[in-house]
Amino acid sequence: MSPQQKHALITGASRGIGRGIALKLAENHVKVAVHYYRNQSAAEETLEAARQRGSDGFILQADVRSTDEIARMFDTLKSHFGYLDIFVANARPEAAEFFQPPMEITLPQWDAAFDSQAKGFLISARLASALMRDQGRIVAITYAQGSRTGSLLPWVAMGSAKAAMESLVRYFAVALAKRGITVNAISPGWTEDSVLSSLPEQVQDLIRKWHTSGWTPMRRLGTPEDIGNVVALFCSPEAGWITGQTIYADGGASLMNPEVPPEIQLG
């Protein structure tokens, strides 16, 4: 990254993938605004870890489902940083707030997904770009598999919302291209210390065994550090010609054919 001081906002940065992103940017001496919703102590831990990596920043709280709170978040950001170089949209509600199949999901559950992802990204990207210097970076964390398939029925709200967010990434990429601001999405595979950790132990074990046995060709799950590395790549000057793309960061899992047993695919 450029030695000139950069400022970043990462939503949902108190833990998991968001923390991994914040710490990787901190290693590159980017000052980080660590957003959280409920867990202030975890956000403070992320900020302290960023300081140990030679950076600094501050924490800020907001519910990304609320347009008013998003606006307040960016007002706070402006008062602390003045300008912005990197915005990473990572936050989402806890699974219990939206995880229901299509025949049972309630409208409040549906709204929790769409307000935080599609509408939240629309508002946030506009406010971020207004504070952003030219050649800035906007990155959305998605789950592209879930936005394109229908087999995990309780993911219907979040999958639909992520599909809308991925579409917005492409529209914003065109709208902001003349300023050299790139807008991309990253789709992690199953990642340790993320939503996986909130699932029952038996489910976690099944997922780990499935991926380490070969469904992820690299035979491991991802880590928050892996995703942070990809964000850092997007934020480098060398990535300035890449925009409007959804990049899979999943160790090759998205390359597998679900119609063919892994034993045959892997030889």
Q: 23-46 pLDDT, tens per residue?
A: 999 999 999 999 999 999 999 999
pLDDT tens figures, 223-242: 999 999 999 999 999 999 99
Residue 229, Cβ density class (10 Å: 0-12 exposed, 13-18 middle, ≥19 buried): middle
Contact indicator for 192, 225 with CB cutoff of 8 Å: no
pLDDT tens figures, 89-133: 999 998 889 999 999 999 999 999 999 999 999 999 999 999 999
Contact indicator for 138, 180 with CB cutoff of 8 Å: no
pLDDT tens figures, 43-91: 999 999 999 999 999 999 999 999 999 999 999 999 999 999 999 999 9
**Mean pLDDT to the nearest integer, 173-186:** 98
| Predicted pLDDT of residue 1 | 44
| Predicted pLDDT of residue 146 | 86
Instruction: Please give the Cα distance from 123 to 62 (Å, whole number).
Output: 13
Q: How far apart are the first and last CA of the chain?
A: 41
User: Residue 203 — pLDDT band, cuts 50, 70, 90?
Assistant: confident
Whether residue 262 has pLDDT greater than 80:
yes
Contact indicator for 169, 244 with CB cutoff of 8 Å: yes
User: Residue 2 — pLDDT band, cuts 50, 70, 90?
Assistant: very low
**Mean pLDDT to the nearest integer, 135-163:** 93
SS3 88: strand
